[in-house]
Structure 1
Amino acid sequence: MNFSFEVIWQNLPYMLAAARWTLAISIAGMAISIVWGTFLCAARLSKDAFVWRIAALYISFFRGVPLLVQLLMFYYMLPYIGLDLPAILAAILAVGLCSAAYTAEILRGSIQSIPAGQTEAANALGIPAFSLWRRILVPQAIRIGLPSLVNELILLVKVSSLASVVGIGELTRVSQNITGQTYRPLEIFIAAAAIYFVINFVISRLGRLAERRMQVG
């Protein structure tokens, strides 16, 4: 059986359409990750022992349990508590909440590298804690941790393939369906790999561009 580019060309539109779901899960999950991860980071750095222990337990759980298990938990558990969400929303929520555990640690390490004098000066000037985080600590933490945050987004693009287990027609699921119809797994999965590579290559380049601009600023 010879390698057929025609098989790739015929099915490429379907795979590119499916890649939009891959991007939707990854980008929306990353947005949740940054917002919730910031709150987790603040809790992790809290002087209240109960608060930081709860945050540490959350981070340990979501970093210690495979994302596939978390995804299945969210998908099957939410209806039991009255939240009958579509599969795509359950997947985004699971991905975002899991990624937030990693983002919180990235931001925590970045904030701890910021000179303590900035926080001391803000406290001396009477700047509220919320403004301190929003205007001073978080922007610097994102700039310092940007390479790691970009890597986290790239990881989310790859792990979004796990959403196929709950029936979401993202790139991996559609590639499997096409393979079942064409019996040409080599061509289809090479094409899928190329699409994943292009997506992550673009994300990597955009991340480097953003990093350079922040350094200049």
Structure 2
Amino acid sequence: MLAAARWTLLISLGGMAISLALGIFVCASRISKEPIISGLAALYISFFRGVPLLVQLLVFYYMLPYIGLDLPAIAAAVLAVGMCSAAYTAEILRGALQTIPHGQTEAAHALGIPTFSLWKRILVPQAIRIGLPSLVNELILLVKVSSLASVVGIGELTRISQNITGETYRPLEIYVAAAAIYFLINLVVSLLGRLAEHKLKVV
């Protein structure tokens, strides 16, 4: 079960990495002044927030081979989890950006700072700092929803717990142990998040 927990962590952390990178791009597109770009970003957010993650996992797993992407199940799961989470991350960052004084952007433009540098050096770092509590909560959620990856045959914690239960006929002990492992993982994530918040002085 501890070995299986590594797959749980891989899905969660890999999904969060994709979520953050893609979420920044979707967030920037969502607040774009170009109606088409903003509309496409809004559609992306609405779709991935409106369709259950279980359905998304199945679609990614069975659809990718049809378009010539024969990815391993774990890669398809990480991609699906990351793209789904990116919709939530984009909204978290958009909310954080709205709290940043607009004068910073105006000052950057007045100083001739390029848009990419503005986002990289000024806006994104502040948005991540402000939205850090919500981003930590999103990572905790990903740890829990990683159990859905069992439907595509990945031997993560929930799937292995089911297999052991089928062999030993001792569901209470096995599932309590699985719950304890999930709890410990999320406790560590929560503590690290609080440490980061304290270090960055998030209010």
Deviation, 1:215, is 1.1
Gaps of 5+ in 2: none
1:27 corresponds in structure 2 to: 13
Q: Secondary structure at the match of 1:127?
A: coil
Hey, what's the Cα distance between the residues in 2 that align with 1:134 and 1:162?
A: 34
Match of 1:119 among 70, 84, 105: 105
Match of 1:91 among 77, 81, 100: 77
2:190 corresponds to 1:204:
yes
1:62 corresponds in structure 2 to: 48
Match of 1:153 among 134, 139, 144: 139
Give the count of matched residue pairs.
Answer: 202
Hey, what's the Cα distance between the residues in 2 that align with 1:214 and 1:133?
A: 19
Deviation, 1:137, is 0.3
Hey, what's the Cα distance between the residues in 2 that align with 1:38 and 1:67?
A: 20
Q: Which amino acid aligns with 1:73?
A: V
Hey, what's the Cα distance between the residues in 1 that align with 2:14 and 2:154?
A: 15
Q: Which amino acid aligns with 2:60?
A: F
Deviation, 1:75, is 0.1
2:169 corresponds in structure 1 to: 183
Cα deviation digits, residues 150-204 of structure 1 (max 9, x gap): 0000000000000000000000000000000000000000000000000000000
Aligned alpha-carbon RMSD (Å):
0.6
Q: Which residues in structure 2 correspond to 1:5-16 (within 5 Å)? A: 15-16=1-2
Q: Which residues in structure 2 correspond to 1:14-53 (within 5 Å)? A: 15-53=1-39
2:68 corresponds to 1:82:
yes
Q: Which amino acid aligns with 1:113?
A: T
2:91 corresponds to 1:105:
yes
Q: Secondary structure at the match of 1:169?
A: coil
* TM-score using structure 1 length: 0.93
1:128 corresponds in structure 2 to: 114
Q: After TM superposition, which residue ranges in structure 1, 4 or more long, deviate above 6 angstroms?
A: none
